[in-house]
Amino acid sequence: MDAATRQKTVVVGAGPVGSLAALYAAQRGHEVEVYELRNDLRDPLTTPLNFTKSINLALSTRGITALENSGAPTLLDQVVDATIPMRGRMIHGVRPTGELYEEHQQYDAHGRTIFAIDRAGLNGRLLDLLETLPNVTIFYNHKMTGADFRRRKAWFEVQAGPQVKNAPRERLPEVEIDFDFLIGADGAHSSVRHHLMKYVMMDYQQHYVDTLWCEFRIRARATEDVASDDKDAAFRAKFAISPNHLHIWPGKDFMFIAIPSCDGSFTCTLFMPASEFADLEASQDDGMTLPAFFDRHFPGVTELISPADLVDSFRRNPHLPLISIKCSPHHYQASVVIVGDAAHAMVPFYGQGMNAGLEDVRVLFALLDKHAQADSNSPFGDDDMVSAEAHRALALAEYSALRVPDAHAINDLALHNYTEMRASVLSPIYRLRKYLEEQLSVHAPWLGWATKYSRVSFGNERYSEVVRQSEFQGRILLGGLIGAASVPIVTGLVFLLMHRRSLANFGSSVFRHAGYIGAWAANGFKR
């Protein structure tokens, strides 16, 4: 198939999700064009859209499965080689005696791990791979300004770099493109979604959580004293704390986390209500308030990050909001679909934002393949573009029907997990349920029992089904605990009912003798 007859697929957004979508399309022989608002994302001078480094990502089974099915045989190995396995959470706190402690909580009773990964590194590998493909073209510094999804046209403004301060803004050149199919992967503030709303009756919900986040960093340690021939020891020596955990300093209303990076450092994030940030911002003149705040709420952090670095990061790095977005549907006819944050931006507390977006791509192309196969098997031999469009429309309709409830489910799970991470990890009830579910998973695998976290992170089960199964298991466990607690009470009642006559006679005897004793006492205990 030559370029003139290939399907032209346009991807808006060159982040990890958009890049993977472009790769999937290219592997199917499409003529692919990728349009990115920013400069080349591999350039360290490129400013991210939120003006700071992204929160370090956690790659789990859903994302791994999507990379594995990309059609690029070496991609997954290259990505995993640049990750750090995290076995569980490490909870940090202080005992009443003032002693600092660390408590490990494993993610999975079967020993499975999630993987800490650098967003820029993953993005760079995908872009490097796309550049080797002859049917992919990437356009940087192109801002989507308009779209006609009925006529399948889009318009992009070609960015000319930063404007000179106070200088009149010149009109930037604009290009018009045609496409057969457009995939919007342009993030939470998606231009594709904005234009899609003009063509479908979209239900849309945007919610800002009353929590801001700010980034900090634990520096890597010097390793001069470690023998160079012991690579594992040299690697581990770079880290100030365990590299195989997500570290959490929980608080009632806020928390501090640290995720390892391959260079030995940790990317750290403070999550806290906006009012608390405002109070700290107002009291930073002396440079002493913030370290004292950390010592009070996140004991041990000032031994890992110097007070000067804490203050510098707090002042220099922005204090950014967290947004949760739900919308429905995710497509329009056969021409456009939105994936990743463009369709379901979520808070980062389940580590599923990127994984859900990569899974979107896998599910989308699996459905496109299914309906294309139905087209090729048609007894009428109708392979023209009209037939292809009709089957693509069916695939996109099925995609929205499947992914909308799943996207809503993981958005809600991510919000609820914030409470778990900052508070529930210390709750005896949370620990009891986790323990019981893990024991059932290990010792009675035929029951199909699993924790909610393991279903989300270590499988490809639909998110909406995970919620349904978790709620079912919760009802079973609650019923069992109530039943177990009620056994002594029921046993006692049965005993009383079975022996009520004997107990009645015993009671009468007691009261009769009590009367004798009372009369005797009234008579001065005289015979």
Q: Which of 169, 178, 144, 179 is nearest to 158 (CA)?
A: 144
Q: Where are the domains of the chain?
A: 1-82+118-161+170-202+329-424
Task: Identify any residues that bridge with 36 across adjacent strands, giving them in sequence order.
Answer: none
* Residue 182 backbone dihedrals phi, psi, to 5 degrees: -125, 135
Q: How far is CA 331 from the centre of its chain?
A: 23
pLDDT in tens, the chain (527 residues): 565 678 999 999 999 999 999 999 999 999 999 999 999 988 877 765 544 455 578 999 999 999 999 999 999 999 999 999 999 999 999 998 989 999 998 888 888 999 999 998 999 999 999 999 999 999 999 999 999 999 999 999 998 655 444 555 667 889 999 999 999 999 999 999 999 999 999 999 999 988 999 999 999 998 766 666 677 888 889 999 999 999 999 887 889 999 999 999 999 999 999 999 999 998 876 667 899 999 999 999 999 999 999 999 999 999 999 999 999 999 999 999 999 999 999 999 899 999 999 999 999 999 999 998 875 655 555 455 558 899 999 999 999 999 999 999 999 999 888 776 655 555 666 666 666 766 766 666 667 678 888 999 999 999 999 999 888 877 776 666 566 555 565 455 555 555 655 545 544 554 455 455 455 445 554 54
Residue bearing tokens 């007859």:
5
Q: How far is CA 111 from CA 86, 269, 426, in A?
A: 10, 26, 22
Burial of 225 (0-12, 13-18, 19+ CB in 10 A): exposed
d(CA 127, CA 177): 22
Closest CA to 345 of 329, 327, 363, 359: 327
Q: How far is residue 80's CA from residue 118's CA, in Å, rounded to a whole number?
A: 11
CA 277/CA 290 separation, integer angstroms: 10
Whole-angstrom distance, CA of residue 452 vs CA of residue 470? 6
Level-2 CATH architecture, domain 1-82+118-161+170-202+329-424: 3-Layer(bba) Sandwich (3.50)
